[in-house]
Chains A and B, each alone.
Chain A
Amino acid sequence: MTPEIRAVLQIAGIGFLVAFLHTALRQSGKEEFAQWMTLVGFVTVFMIVLSYVDRLYGEIQRVFLIQ
């Protein structure tokens, strides 16, 4: 389980969890709560992705001498 594949599986897991919780909550009538839960899930995943993109930007600046 290399760190790269762990990141992808982590995000996929959160995505599935949020998707199924969303439908489950909608069935049980808590429509608005489901919307908020999906939003929070998306924001956390986006933070994880942004940390990788930030690392990529640093690497590109270092390798290609872009200031």
Chain B
Amino acid sequence: MHILQMVGFGLVATVIATVLRPHAPQFAIMVTMVAGTILLLMVMSYMSKVISPLQDLANTAQLNQGFISTVLKIIGIAYIVEFAAQLARDAQEGALATKIELAGKVGIVILALPIVMSVMNAILHLLP
């Protein structure tokens, strides 16, 4: 996990974006976007190392495979929505950022609904 490399890369990209902003603001946003994307790509390669042991644990515990994949999807949606929303805020597009977050929230609620339903059914069965 080259944490120093990633942090250094982020710092360099920040400096380049600030230097570029007065001359060409639209290119500064492009530098921020590509730097953010590359950093996320670096993190994503380590993320799969985190997720595979979790899935093995879930399999050994005979958990329902659907729950685990839903949780993973929700985490993925949260990642990408936060990335896009923060980028929109950087470009002074606050309204757009909130719309992106709204889309992410709706997506997460839709994904979480079946789990909530199954919990409700389980509870109802317990009651006399």
Contact with A along B1-33 (1 / 0, CB 8 A): 000010001001100100110011011101101
B24-50 with Cβ < 8 A to chain A? 24, 26-28, 30-31, 33-35, 37-38, 40-42, 44-45, 47-48
Is the C-beta of B88 less than 8 angstroms from some C-beta in chain A?
no
A60-B34 contact in complex given A5-B12, A14-B27, A19-B24, C-beta closer than 8 Å: no
The minimal Cβ–Cβ distance linking A57 to chain B, given in whole angstroms, is 8
User: Which single residue of chain A is at the shortest CB-CB distance from B27?
Assistant: A15
The minimal Cβ–Cβ distance linking A38 to chain B, given in whole angstroms, is 8
> Which of B74-82, B97-105, B116-124 lies at the binding interface?
B74-82
Is the C-beta of B63 less than 8 angstroms from some C-beta in chain A?
no
The minimal Cβ–Cβ distance linking A48 to chain B, given in whole angstroms, is 7
Q: List 26 A–B pairs whose Cβ atoms lie within 8 Å, in order of A's numbering.
A: A8-B9, A8-B34, A12-B27, A14-B27, A16-B20, A16-B24, A16-B27, A18-B27, A19-B23, A22-B24, A42-B27, A42-B30, A45-B30, A52-B34, A52-B41, A53-B33, A55-B41, A56-B40, A57-B80, A59-B41, A60-B79, A63-B51, A64-B73, A64-B76, A65-B72, A65-B76
Binding site for A on B (CB under 8 A): 5, 9, 12-13, 16, 19-20, 23-24, 26-28, 30-31, 33-35, 37-38, 40-42, 44-45, 47-48, 51, 69, 72-73, 75-77, 79-80
Closest 10 CB pairs of A and B: A64-B76, A15-B27, A19-B23, A19-B24, A52-B37, A59-B44, A4-B38, A15-B24, A12-B16, A49-B34
